[in-house]
Structure 1
């Protein structure tokens, strides 16, 4: 069945009537890729969005604690990444995916881009936020031109939100017949307009042409399908696989089946919990905490005092992950998760993969590197698993 993609950007100016730009009329985009292009020159926008053009981009995975940056290109199904950069996010500049201190963030990014000789003219941002809503809903089967109206009505029944404050995108997942009535099962993503505009402004002020705004679970989905399918991978992409991004402030649990996103949830917890513990117990200075965690914590050594404290925190994370997995199984009539792939900062704690395997009873693998197929870089010293989200965002399908 043909996919249906809808989302709108609302332009507001003081004293003027709200203007609607229908992005669907300008380009074809895949689920979760929320492209933000606020130009009056529609012809130029069409040319910019053409997927067959050879275009080098710089992409940013912007978190509350760290920012990952890559420069690369996706052309004719070939992915090439030539620069990998990490930097600390200025304190308080980004909170739950929303840019709060634009000027501080700009100054730091300008410096880093200059120091690393980034020459790309097009910019992509990928992020995640508890404010981004992702829901599957059933709606009556309708014609394409009626889809937006019906979805807006139905989603309002599920969520008490003002849809004027969100960008909506819709994808048809399947068609079903219920009580002799044909229904469409659709996935709706509601992306806060204010967050989207923050990233658009960021790219513009960096003198980059805004190319796309992605969400992390969609970036991972493209990474799986375009990189891991060529890798000597320990999981079958056709199985149900949970990819868990263990970040500083949030743990993202994304479940993929047959290479497609099937379920996603965020846990408000992460590496910052361990940092606070170590600093509180005066074991380490704040600026030394990352290295200390990797060198001194081992979850497989239960009798060391520091490991006992850290295990209490990770046990809480794992309990929440288990609840999400159980909810998924109940929702899908006992559908099993075949394996778990962990990546991100806290996944690097010694023994985390084995510890999770023992606790949850599902084989857990830490994603340590990237397939050499399609990814080119002389920077072999980087922890490649840190860049899964941002590499996936470079891929345009």
Structure 2
């Protein structure tokens, strides 16, 4: 079997641009999922995303990482490979306002974010959003090698064989990964992402209500991919980017395991677990007040300390996370004929637990480190706070 590597095939990982004209609001025309230059057309089809993009205008954007527990916001500009971030904002998500990536309480969220934008004097009008959801479907499939104009029909047919979904309810995007020759027949290996239309519509309408211009909708693993290529590209690697490296976002409700190889996404899975599991234990067993939990976790919990009861409780939770992460990594290894994950990079709220890097390294047998983001890697006009938690949202600002 002959295979052309991804690096031989030009492609773009940019983000799905929302169409700003609301006059014919076929939502399938609004989303370019940060995977291409897509100005998605009004149709049931998709655009291939491995094309060279046209130059973007220089524009300041306001970008949101919409989590179920926290929302991270940055204001900045990405232009001609030059990234400037002017502002970093973190706010608590109103309870139940965002569930599994979907806006559930639009009015509460509108009041909260409207107030935050006003208080911080945000002037940018073009809005970018990044998130993740178990409802977003990500699959690699093999299709016959066909001409570009036939891709729509072929991929839609093939994906329907793989996934028992109503394609009318999803926006499809496809990314060419490589070309293969199997038994003398040429095939295309593509990644197909199906994004629920109702989630896209929810964010589009929400940003319009905030008097913002919806510009792009991203997915977190793609935002991280751009971060790796454009930010980490200028820093010293503690790992070889040609190796398989897992970037693990340890959020409140979900742990996202994203494996990259040769600076490209190779595999992604979500675990329904996260920092909220620890919060519940602290509320139940220690009576910690809800508004004090975050501070308590990072000051008092130490995974390397063996005897304190609270550390024992938390270790049991973390052990469950690690077991699930290990299964994902093993599945990846089996799927890729023994391809080993050589390093793990963790970030997000729970990555700040004392001793977690050493604990995960010991348990998994894979070097694990927490991602520390230096402002030296790009221009930053706000030096007042650490920015390690802003990886997803900074990546979403980058338009390739």
User: TM-score scaled by structure 2?
Assistant: 0.89
Tell me the TM-score normalised to structure 1 length. Answer: 0.90
Quick one: which of 382, 386, 389 aligns to 1:386?
A: 389
Say if 1:148 and 1:183 are closer, same or farther in 2 by CA, change over 3 A: same
Question: Out of 320, 324, 330, which is 1:320 matched to?
Answer: 324
Contact 1:248 1:272 in 2 (8 A): yes
Q: How many residues align?
A: 379
Q: What is the distance in 2 between the residues matched to 1:294 and 1:373? A: 27
Q: Which runs of 5+ in 1 are unaligned?
A: 39-48
Do the aligned residues in 1 keep the contact of 2:88 with 2:382 (CA within 8 Å)?
no
For residue 372 of structure 1, give the secondary structure of its aligned residue in structure 2. Answer: helix
- For 1:268 and 1:225, how far apart are their aligned partners in 2? 28
1:34 and 1:212 in contact (8 A); partners too: no
**What displacement does 1:145 show?**
1.1
Indicate if the aligned counterparts of 2:16 and 2:35 stay in contact, CA closer than 8 A: no
The answer (yes or no) to whether the contact 1:294–1:348 under 8 Å persists in 2 is yes
Say whether 1:265 aligns with 2:273: no
Q: Give 1:46's aligned residue.
A: none
Matched residues in 1 for 2:28 and 2:360: separation? 46
Q: Conserved in 2, the CA contact under 8 Å of 1:51 and 1:396?
A: no
Q: How does 1:198-213 map to 2 (within 5 A)?
A: 198-213=202-217
- Equivalence for 1:41: none
**CA-CA distance at 1:35 after TM superposition:** 6.7
C-alpha distance in structure 2 between counterparts of 1:194 and 1:358, whole Å = 42
1:120 and 2:124 aligned: yes
CA contact (8 A) 1:7 1:167 kept: no
Alignment correspondent of 1:43: none
Per-residue deviation, 1:32: 7.0
> Match of 2:341, SS?
coil
Structure 2 residues not aligned, in runs of 5+: 1-8, 43-52
Cα separation, 2, equivalents of 1:9 and 1:121? 13
2:381 maps to: 377
* Residues 127 and 316 of structure 1: CA distance in aligned 2, closer, same or farther (over 3 Å): same
Deviation at 1:354, TM superposition (A): 0.7
**Superposed displacement of residue 187, structure 1:** 0.5
Measure, in 1, the Cα distance between the counterparts of 2:126 and 2:27. 24
State how 1:269-308 maps to structure 2 within 5 Å.
269-308=273-312
> What is the root-mean-square deviation of aligned Cα atoms in Å?
2.6
